Amino acid sequence: MKKITICVPMYNEEENLAVLYDKLDLLSKEYIGSYEFEFLFVNDGSMDQSLSIVKTLSKEDSRVKCVDLSRNFGKEIAMLAGFDYATGDAIIIMDADLQHPPSTIPKMIVEWEKGYQDVYGKRVTRHGESFFKKAFSKMYYKILTRFSSVPVIPAVGDFRLLDRKCIDSIKKIRETQRYTKGIYMWIGFKKKEITFEANERFAGETKWQFKSLVKLAIDGIISDSVVPLRLSLYSGVAIATFSFLYLIYTLITTLVHGSATPGYPTLTILLLFLSGTQLFFMGIIGEYIGKIFIEVKRRPPYLVQEFVTQEQTDKDDEI
Ligand code: UDP
Ligand code: MG
């Protein structure tokens, strides 16, 4: 029998876990005899009761397992831990907050059976997200598709089913500065899009702060493209050409009309403009160097406190 791993990265999701588990359990009942399930939670340094809730669940249900990370590493890394520990023939990644409806899962399985290896969900509606977040995301995808060497599809996130082939491929990519959306595109394989209606977060607050969104946005562009570096070369050439033409123009007007008016404003503007551009591109180079710095340290992407399974919990109880 084929096994499907449902992987849920979680960070302070205590209010959602029981409902999520019930829905997943109900779903799995429809597949008794056809698929085996594994519910793999990745506890990304939660400070609430999330871990103990999952531990309790795993005592009653041997399908429930949990990778407990040593601290909060962020969702991108938590998902990598999920890929590492998943034992299924396919993995389905979903959020703990029920924004990804479990009712979409059967559709994904159908496509997987047809031979597709990466069945990804595309949001058709985004209930309960601020106007600001929607506008930001729209603008961002426009910029990202310009820069990236592999196209990233708007409104497609981590809610997807991946075949074992894809899982093994992603596991080989050990970057700590991860942009998983770019990685899905980079690995290739047979892809299929299905749509889903994103719900509102069931309980609790979104874990994303503006700061982490900006970081993810920058990572998206930087981790997959050297175009921004080239941009600095082009702009440098453009600005230098412009200054040279301006120089000739000033020379000629001075020769024809005599000394020009004192050029303080022009000078100031040019100076500010140039130092601004230089700082901007130094910043871009800095971003890349920062990434190199972090990657050359070759640290493991995450550390694990414990791997919670039913047998493990039983053993702990005996002691
Ligand atoms: N998450 C995580 N680590 C983090 C932040 C979030 O594992 O540092 C999980 C979170 O528990 C949820 C999923 O990632 O299951 C998506 O997070 P959230 O719902 O806060 O993001 P949004 O849906 O607002 O983009
Ligand atoms: Mg959410």
**Would you call 227 exposed, middle or buried from its count of C-beta atoms within 10 A (0-12, 13-18, 19+)?**
middle
Q: Can you tell me the distance from the alpha carbon of 63 to that of 38, in angstroms, rounded to the nearest whole number?
A: 5
Q: Taking the model in full, what pTM does it have?
A: 0.80
Q: Can you tell me the distance from the alpha carbon of 228 to that of 173, in angstroms, rounded to the nearest whole number?
A: 23
Q: Is the CB of 10 under 6 A from ligand 1?
A: yes
User: Please, are residues 55 and 22 in contact by the beta-carbon 8 Å criterion?
Assistant: no
- pLDDT band at residue 145 under the 50/70/90 scheme: confident
Of the ranges 14-23, 41-50, 230-239, which one carries the lowest mean pLDDT score?
Answer: 230-239
**Ligand 1 pocket test: which of 21, 47, 92, 95 has the largest number of ligand atoms within 8 Å of its C-beta?**
95
Q: Is the CB of 176 under 6 A from ligand 1?
A: no
Of the ranges 18-22, 49-53, 249-253, 314-318, which one carries the lowest mean pLDDT score?
Answer: 314-318
Q: Is the pLDDT of residue 69 over 80?
A: yes
- pLDDT band at residue 46 under the 50/70/90 scheme: very high
User: Please, are residues 81 and 42 in contact by the beta-carbon 8 Å criterion?
Assistant: yes
| Mean per-residue pLDDT, 8-18 | 93
| Distance from the alpha carbon of residue 186 to the mean position of ligand 2, in angstroms | 25
- pLDDT band at residue 126 under the 50/70/90 scheme: low
| Distance from the alpha carbon of residue 42 to the mean position of ligand 1, in angstroms | 11
Q: Is the CB of 50 under 6 A from ligand 1?
A: no
Q: Is the pLDDT of residue 261 over 70?
A: no
Of the ranges 39-43, 45-49, 221-225, which one carries the lowest mean pLDDT score?
Answer: 221-225
Q: Can you tell me the distance from the alpha carbon of 291 to that of 300, in angstroms, rounded to the nearest whole number?
A: 15
- pLDDT band at residue 197 under the 50/70/90 scheme: confident
- pLDDT band at residue 33 under the 50/70/90 scheme: confident
Question: What does the mean pLDDT of the chain come to?
Answer: 85
- Predicted ipTM? 0.95
Q: Can you tell me the distance from the alpha carbon of 105 to that of 189, in angstroms, rounded to the nearest whole number?
A: 20
Q: Is the CB of 111 under 6 A from ligand 1?
A: no
Q: Is the pLDDT of residue 223 over 80?
A: no
29 alpha-carbon distance from chain centroid:
31
* Structural Rg of the chain based on CA atoms: 25
- pLDDT band at residue 264 under the 50/70/90 scheme: low
Atom of ligand 1 nearest to the CA of 78: 7
Q: Is the CB of 9 under 6 A from ligand 1?
A: yes
User: Please, are residues 288 and 222 in contact by the beta-carbon 8 Å criterion?
Assistant: yes
211 alpha-carbon distance from chain centroid:
14
Q: Minimal CA–CA distance to 6: which of 81, 88, 123, 114? A: 88
SS3 of residue 110 by DSSP: helix
